[in-house]
Chains A and B, each alone.
Chain A
Amino acid sequence: MNSKSRRWWGQLSLEGLSLLMALLFLAPLLWLFLGAFKAPDGLFGGPLLPQEWKWENFVEAWRSAPFGRFLLNSLVVSSLTTLSVGLTSALAAFALARMEFPFKPLAFVLALGTLMIPGDALLIPNFLTIRNFGWINSYWALIVPFAASGFGIFLLRNAFLQTPRELDDSARLDGATPLTFLFRILLPVNAPALSALSVLTFLSSWNALVWPFVATNRNEWRTAQVGLASFNNIEGNTNIPVVLAATFIVTVPVLLVYFLAQKWFIESAASSGLKG
C-alpha cells in the first residue's frame, strides 16, 4: 500500500516534470509559431494569439525564393552526406575498435583533430580546392567535404568498444567476413548510436549556411538555409512574420526526420535480442 502510493506519487511528479520541461522548451517556439500567422505590426506589441490568422504569410514565404528547389537540394545533400558519414565512420570506427595496426592512435587523433579546426579560416583554401576540381555549383561541393566526420568515428568507435566481443566470436564461428559482421551485426546492435549520428549529421548538413554560400552562386544548387538567409538585410526592411513562416517551412522536414529516426532507434534498441 505504502510503496504503491509512493510509486503513484513518483509517477505523478515525473509526469508533471516532463510536462513542465516540455513547456519551458516550447514556450519561445510558441511565439515563433504564432508569429508566423501575424501581421508585422502585431508581432512585438500585440497579443500572443494572432488577431487575424494570416495564412498568406506562408504563401509569400514560399514564393519569395525557389523553396521547392532549395528543399529538394537540402534533402539530397543532407541525405547523401548522412549516408556517406554513416558509411565512412562505420568503416573507420570498425578498424579502430576491432583491429590492431601500426599508427592506430595517430589515425584516431587525426579523426578527432578535424573537430578542433576553426572553420572560417578554411573557407578560402577549400574554395580553391573544389574550384580546382571543377565542383563549384554542384552537389559534389556540398557533400564531399563533409562526407566523413571525426565525430562519427568517435561516436561509433566508442559504441563498438562497448559492444561485447563475444559477438565477434560467435560471428566468426558462423564464418562471417569482417564486412558482413560489421553491417549485419555490429551496426544493427549499435542502432541507437548510429541513429543519433544520423540525426546530428543530417541536421548539421541541413543547417549549414556559410559553406553553401561560398561553394555555389546559382539557385539551382542552393539549399533551404540559403533561402532563409535571403530574408535578411541590414536596413531591417523585412517582413518578419514571413521569415517566421519560412523558418517553419524549413524546420518541419528536419523535425520529421528526427521523429522517424527516434522511433527507429528506440524500436531497434528494444527489439535487438542480441544485447549482451
Chain B
Amino acid sequence: MAVAQRSPTARSLWDGQLGARLGGAIPYLLPALAVFVLFAYYPLLRVLYLSFTDADLLRSPRWVGLENYQKMLLSREFLGSLSVTTAFALAVTALEVGVGMALAFLMQAKTRFQSLLRGAIFAPVVVSTVSAGLIWQYMMNPNGGPLNAGLQAVGLPPLGWLTHPETALASVILISFWKGVGLPAVIYLAGLQAIPKELQEAARVDGATAWQVARRITIPLLAPTTMVVLFLSLVGTFQSYGLILVLRTEGGPVGATNLLGYHIYQNAFQYFQMGYACAVSVFLFLLLAGLAWVQFRLSERRVHYQ
C-alpha cells in the first residue's frame, strides 16, 4: 500500500500493453471464473430457488414462498444450532489464529526438534476425519480413557467429555483445534518466511527484546496473513460438521454439538426436506458473506493506519 502511494504510476503497470482494460484482464480471470460459475454460482441459484419450494427431491417442487425461512426462524432447533455453531466457530477461530501464530514462531525457531515439530503439528491435518473420530472417541472415553486417567492422576475429577451436554461442545472444539491448527500454522510459517530477516535483526541490534520485535514488527507485518487465517477459519468452521458425523454425537447430547452443517445434512438427506435445507444453506451463505464484509471493512481501515 505504502509503495503504491509513493509511486502511483506503478499501480497500473501492466495495463497499457494489453489493449482494452477489461479485455486485458479477462483471459487471466476466465479459467477460474468459468469453474466458479459452473460449479458454484449456477448451483447456488438452484439452491436459492429450491429454498422457496417444498422440494424433497422425490416429487417436483412446489413454490411455497417464504415458508421455509419462516419455519427456520421459528425453529428452536435451528436457533439452538445457530448459537452452538457461533460458539464453535468463534472458539476454534480464536485458537487457530492465536495458537496457530504462536506455533509458527516456534516452528521457525532453530531447534533440534524443528522438523519433528513441523511434522507433528501438521500430521493431524493429514489424518482422515474418520480416524480422528476413532482416536478421540477412545481418548475421551469418560470411563477410564487416557484423558480422564490423566486428570485423575493429577487429582482432578474426571469429565464426561463428548457424553455430557456441558462439555461436549468444548470437546469438539478441542478436537477441531488439534485436527485443524496445522493449516494456519503453516500459513503463518509461510508468512514468517516472507518477512525479510534484516528487519528483525536490525531491531535486535538496536536492543529490542525478542518479545518487542515480535509485537512491534513481526506480528504487524503478519497482519495480511492474519486476515487470511481469520477469514479461512471463520468461513471453514461455520460450515464444518465432519467431526460430528464421525464422533457419532448426532448433534447431541441435547443438541450441544448440533452444528449448522449437520442440521443441513440431516434435513437434506435424512428428513427429505431439501427445500428447508436449502433455506438454511442460503442463510449460512448470507451470514458468512456478511461476516466477511465486516472483516474486510475493519482490516482495510487497519491497513490504512499502518
Contact = CB atoms under 8 A, between A and B. Distances in A.
A and B touch in the complex (CB under 8 A): yes
Interface of A: 10-11, 14-15, 17-19, 21-23, 25-26, 28-29, 31-32, 44, 87-89, 91-92, 94-95, 98-104, 107, 110-122, 124-126, 129, 144-148, 150-151, 153-155, 158-159, 161-162, 164-166, 168-169, 172, 177-178, 181, 190, 192-193, 195-196, 199-200, 203, 207, 225, 228-229, 232, 240, 243-244, 247, 250-251, 254-255, 258-259, 262, 265-266, 269-270, 275-276
Contact of B25 (A99, A164, A229): A99
Given A95-B29, A101-B22, A117-B285, A129 B43 contact: yes
Contacts of A95: 25, 28-29
A121 B130 CA distance: 22
Contact of B12 (A29, A100, A150): A100
B14 A148 contact: no
A104 B11 CA distance: 14
Contact of A99 (B10, B21, B120): B21
B63 interface: no
A101 to B, nearest CB: 4
B111 A15 contact: yes
25 contacts: A18-B113, A29-B123, A31-B135, A91-B27, A92-B33, A94-B28, A99-B28, A116-B235, A120-B264, A121-B274, A124-B274, A129-B42, A151-B232, A154-B231, A165-B3, A165-B4, A166-B3, A178-B18, A207-B128, A228-B128, A229-B130, A244-B131, A258-B122, A258-B126, A262-B186
B254 to A, nearest CB: 23
Nearest to B21: A101
B13 A29 contact: no
Interface string B190-230: 11011010000000000000100000000000001101100
Interface string B41-69: 11110110010000001000000000000
Interface string B248-261: 00000000000011
A154 B43 contact: no
A121 B118 CA distance: 36
A125 B283 CA distance: 18
A121 B42 contact: no
B198 to A, nearest CB: 9
Given A125-B46, A254-B126, A116 B28 contact: no
B136 A28 contact: yes
B239 A275 contact: no
7 smallest beta-carbon distances between A and B, as pairs: A125-B43, A116-B288, A95-B28, A192-B190, A148-B32, A22-B120, A148-B35
Contacts of A26: 120, 123
Contact of B29 (A19, A107, A117, A255): A107
Given A129-B38, A243-B131, A21 B120 contact: yes
A148 B139 CA distance: 38
B24 interface: yes
Nearest to B127: A251
Interface in B257-299: 260-261, 264-265, 268-269, 274, 277-278, 280-281, 284-285, 288-289, 292
Interface in B102-149: 103, 106, 109, 111-114, 116-131, 134-136, 138-139, 141, 146
Nearest to A207: B128
A109 to B, nearest CB: 9
Contact of A148 (B18, B31, B264): B31
Nearest to B4: A165
Chain A interface secondary structure, helix, strand, loop or mixed? helix
B10 A169 contact: yes
B91 to A, nearest CB: 19
Nearest to B129: A207
A164 B3 contact: yes
A141 to B, nearest CB: 11
A165 B129 CA distance: 42
A247 B194 contact: no
A110 B285 contact: no
B77 interface: no
Nearest to A113: B289
A31 B138 contact: yes
Contacts of A144: 35, 39
Given A95-B29, A148-B31, A250 B36 contact: no
